[in-house]
Amino acid sequence: MPVPPKRQLAKEIWKNRAVYTAISPFYLLFAVFGLFPIGFSLYLAFHKWDGIGEMTFNGFNNSSYMLTDPEFWQAVGNTFMIWIYSTIPMLFFALIVAFLLHAPFIRFKTFFRIGFFLPNVTSIVAVSIIFAALFANNYGILNYVMGVFNLPLVAWLDVPWGIKAALSSMVIWRWTGYNAVIYLAGLQSIPTTLYEAAKIDGATGIQSFFRITIPLLRPVILFTVITSTIGGMQLFTEPQILLGNNGGTGGAGMTIVLYLYRESFINNYFGYGATVGWGMFLIIALFSFINWKIVQGPSSK
């Protein structure tokens, strides 16, 4: 069908006005709460603004400050480190959990599925407070247990690696079950005939895992890698509650979003905060793209 000229288009819209009205709430809400803030933050990124006073044009000063601020790069580095420490074990555990849940010899499957998913729906603030009690330097549960076994105590929240370990373990604890449920759905969609055929051909369990399960799960793995990349880059509540607005000793737990939050809402550089937001957008986009390329692999070409 040829594209109708403008007047006809308008006529067409008018004819279907009831339908358009019905779908309009989403577009209106999106325009107000989605599109406008995005556009405004781009505008804000080139301005200096303390939140109340006059907005003054600042050109590229915000972005050049960001690119030359060691604390920003530290935050980027921290975010990546925590992402690596958390995502790789998390997806690995999730795959194992999903595989076990899928195994025919496991009983009470629904109970385990709910159990593994449960951490994901608990409040992050509550989780952070519990983990703070776990990792506390002097009266932490972890140090108490280590003391019982006569192991040297660790001032977890005073050393950079301890801070990162604490944050990563929170992410792993919270998201393993979620990813396991997604993997489980993926596993269930793989036809059992493939495994049977492999068995007849004399394949071992490990062989069929690597030759059948993993390749067929690839789209699902890709999905979890992308979502955990986005989630990992946006880490905020965990370090904020656990370590405060400065990301703990030496800023070892300062993530990009926590940095953004501190610079805009604590230090009142709202224009700069918008710049950091856009910087983060570019980083996430680039990083997701790289991850996608890696996980997709050369074989799918």
Partner 1 sequence: MKQRTWSLVILIAVLVISGCSSSPTADPLSSNKKITLTLWYWNRSIDDQLLQKAKEQFPNIHLVTQKIGGDFKSKLKTTMAAKSGEPDIVALNDWIMELFPSQDRFYDLYEFGAAEVKDQYLDWKWQQGVTPDGQMIGFPMDTGPTALFYREDLFKEAGLPTDPEEVHKQMSTWDDYRQAGLTLKEAFNGKVFMYDNIENVYNEIISQSDKKYFTPEGDFIGDSNETIREAWDMSVAFHKDGLIANADHWTPEWNAGVNKGKIASFVGAVWMKQPLQEAAPDTAGKWRVTRAPGGDGNVGGSFMAIPKSSEHPKEAFEVIKWLQNPENQLTMFKTTNLFPSTPSAYDSDTIREGEPFFGGQATGEVFAESARNVQISFFGERYPAVHGVMTRWLNNIANLDPATAFDEAMQRVERELKR
DSSP tally for the chain: helices H, then strands E: 15, 2
The sign of the torsion formed by the CA atoms of 212, 218, 219, 223 equals positive
Structure tokens at 247: 């990301």
Residue from 41, 42, 46, 69 binding partner 1 (CB under 8 A): 69
Distance CA 187, CA 159 (A): 40
Q: Which of 267, 289, 294, 297 binds partner 1 (CB under 8 A)?
A: 267
3-state secondary structure of 301: coil
**Smallest distance from partner 1 to CB 23, Å:** 12
Residue carrying structure tokens 């495994």: 195
Q: Is 41 in the site for partner 1 (CB under 8 A)?
A: no
CB of 130 to partner 1, least distance (A): 11
Tell whether residue 273 is a contact of partner 1 (CB under 8 A).
Answer: no
Among 177, 232, 239, 251, binds partner 1 (CB under 8 A): 251
Strand partners, 56: 48
User: Is 59 near partner 1 (CB under 8 A)?
Assistant: no
Q: Looking at 14-22, 93-101, 168-176, 228-236, which segment touches partner 1 (CB under 8 A)? A: 14-22
Question: Of 58, 13, 108, nearest to 275 (Cα)?
Answer: 58
Q: Which is nearer to partner 1, 96 or 129 (CB)?
A: 129
Q: Would you say 21 or 150 has its CB closer to partner 1?
A: 21
Residue listed under structure tokens 């699902």 = 220
Determine which residue in the list 4, 34, 37, 51 makes contact with partner 1, applying CB under 8 A.
51
Phi, psi values for residue 57, rounded to 5°: -65, 135
Choose, by CB under 8 A, the member of 249, 288, 291, 296 that binds partner 1. 249
| 18 part of the interface to partner 1, by CB under 8 A | yes
Q: Is 65 in the site for partner 1 (CB under 8 A)?
A: yes
CB of 151 to partner 1, least distance (A): 20
Selected binder of partner 1 within 115, 147, 219, 250 (CB under 8 A) = 250
Q: Under the criterion CB under 8 A, does residue 77 sit at the interface with partner 1? A: no
- Smallest gap from Cβ 13 to partner 1, in A, equals 18
Least distance to partner 1 from the beta carbon of 56, Å? Answer: 12
If binding is defined by CB under 8 A, does position 52 make contact with partner 1?
yes
Pull the structure tokens for residue 177: 């079950």
Q: Supply 59's token pair.
A: 């050109």
What's the number of CA atoms in the CB half-sphere (13 Å) around residue 262?
20
Under DSSP, the state recorded for 2 is P
| Residue 21 touches partner 1, criterion: CB under 8 A | yes
DSSP annotation string for 200-222: HTT--HHHHIIIIIHHHHHHHHH
Element (H, E) at 186: helix 160-188
Length of the chain, please?
Answer: 301
Restricting to residues 126-155, which ones interact with partner 1 according to CB under 8 A? 132-133, 136-139, 155
Note whether 34 binds partner 1 by CB under 8 A.
no
Classify residue 71 by burial, with Cβ atoms within 10 Å: 0-12, 13-18, 19+. middle
Which tokens sit at 25? Answer: 């709430």
What residues make contact with partner 1 under the rule CB under 8 A? Answer: 18, 21-22, 48, 50-53, 61, 65, 69, 132-133, 136-139, 155, 158, 160, 244, 246, 249-251, 265-269, 272
